[in-house]
Amino acid sequence: MDKLSRVLLIVEFDGHAYSGWQRQKNAYAVQQALEEAISKIEQHEVQCFGAGRTDKGVHAQAMPVHVDVSTERLLRSKRAYVHGVNQLLPLSIRVLACVQVEDDFHARFDCLERAYCYRIWCRNTSSSLDSWRHWWMPRELDVVQMELASQVFMGRQDFSSVRASGCQAASAVREIRELSLQKQGYVLEIHVRADAFLYHMVRNIVGSLVQVGLAQCSVDQLSEIMKKKDRSLSAATAPAHGLYFSDARYEKYLVSSILENTNNDA
């Protein structure tokens, strides 16, 4: 076998046709599609490792993935390698960039910070063009109250109230470092960045903020719910199809910077 080099791929995908990132026995996943494409180029089976395990229907703007590939083939041209992989992928998945990394780099375990974006479509009628890419909200949301409520989740604390009942993490303590709302036209985006996330944590936070925006829960009530650490007291989980994996940070790499540099070199 040829000498191998480890690369970090930045992957974009529309998740509505997939069972999530992680390969499964009885469903088609993004990981499987990517591994099959790269295996054809490498002429042997490969295994890809992503920074997160997105659920069915969740999208990615920039999912970091590491995989070991032929050094000789890679050194000829990283750009050609990316184009070659994309030629073998469904149109709903694209590799955006490729960076050679250290042999012991791990896309999941070395990740210091992850970021997600959640999109809500605030309009009387739903969209005919991309209904699977946002949560349609026909009722008006009080964004000011939602922004006040977002402060309840900031910092390092126990997030038991907003993790799924099936979450198997040993500890519910996480640190949210950014939680911001941006409204432009019909689209309300909720951006959240943390050291790590619990199962359904982002979607449950969004559900809680929307409940405040609909005046079904006050900021003070939400604060009390968080203190009680009881998932049964908090809002319903927001739909998966509004969620996007948007960025990740490592000791030596920031995914958004890699993409920016790649685009500038194009």
| Mean pLDDT, rounded, for 63-90 | 94
Question: What confidence tens digit (pLDDT) does each residue in 30-49 have?
Answer: 999 999 999 999 999 999 99
| Mean pLDDT, rounded, for 203-214 | 98
> Choosing from 55, 103, 158, 247, which is the catalytic residue?
55
The two three-digit tokens of residue 28, written as one number: 């088609």
SS3 201: helix
Spell out the long-range contacts of 17-25 with Cβ–Cβ below 8 A and sequence spacing 24 or more. 17/90, 17/92, 18/56, 18/92, 19/56, 20/53, 20/54, 20/55, 20/56, 20/57, 20/58, 21/50, 21/52, 21/53, 21/54, 21/60, 21/63, 22/50, 22/53
User: Is it true that 4-110 and 113-245 share their CATH fold?
Assistant: yes
Please report which confidence band the pLDDT of residue 266 belongs to, taking 50, 70 and 90 as the band edges.
very low
Question: What confidence tens digit (pLDDT) does each residue in 110-150 have?
Answer: 999 999 999 999 999 999 988 999 999 999 999 999 999 99
Neighbours of 125 (CB within 10 A): 9
- Is position 130 annotated as part of the catalytic site? no
Domain spans in the chain, listed from the N-terminal domain onward: 4-110, 113-245
For domain 4-110, give the CATH number. 3.30.70.580
Residue 264 has pLDDT above 70, yes or no: no
Q: Are 10 and 259 within 8 A, CB to CB? A: yes
Query: Angle, nearest 10°, between helix axes 219-228 and 143-150?
Result: 30
Fold of the CATH domain 113-245 = Alpha-Beta Plaits (3.30.70)
